[in-house]
Amino acid sequence: MDPRVERVARNEDRHRDLNDQIEASYESHGMDWHMDVVCECGRQDCDVFLKVTKAEYEGVRADPRRFVIVRDHLDPEVDVLVSEDDRFTVVAKREGEAAEIAQITDPRR
């Protein structure tokens, strides 16, 4: 396994876990409620927050290979652009190690 790909994937997994906890704290709010979530990029030092609705976040989390990030944090070695708007970008992990780690570490699976 490529050490860089594994490190990036583990960082993304930590950010995704944190966002699942953030979303859980909004349990009593409707699906159109905006929450501040952490950018789920693979950068260890990233501290950017993004506004997403609960429905948008659930749409991303429906696929364990997808993550919500800041557009400038897209890593073309492991990410494929899925969609973007003025608030956030959705990427999917490219087939291979990054996608496998994203699926294996997804607590919802």
What per-residue confidence (pLDDT) applies to 59?
A: 96
pLDDT of residue 81: 98
Q: Which pLDDT score is estimated for 20?
A: 92
The Cα 63–Cα 61 span in angstroms is 5
The reported pLDDT for the residue numbered 54 is 95
Rounded Cα distance, 68 and 12, in Å: 10
Q: Is the CB of residue 23 less than 8 Å from the CB of residue 37?
A: yes
Distance CA(22)–CA(97), nearest Å, equals: 27
Mean pLDDT by runs of 10 across the 109 residues of the chain is: 82 91 91 94 93 96 97 93 97 92 87
pLDDT of residue 108: 84
Q: Give the burial class of 108: count Cβ atoms within 10 A of its Cβ; 0-12 exposed, 13-18 middle, 19 or more buried.
A: exposed
DSSP of 5-34? HHHHHHHHHHHHHHHHHHHHHTTTS-TT-E
How large is the greatest C-alpha to C-alpha distance in the chain, in angstroms?
A: 41
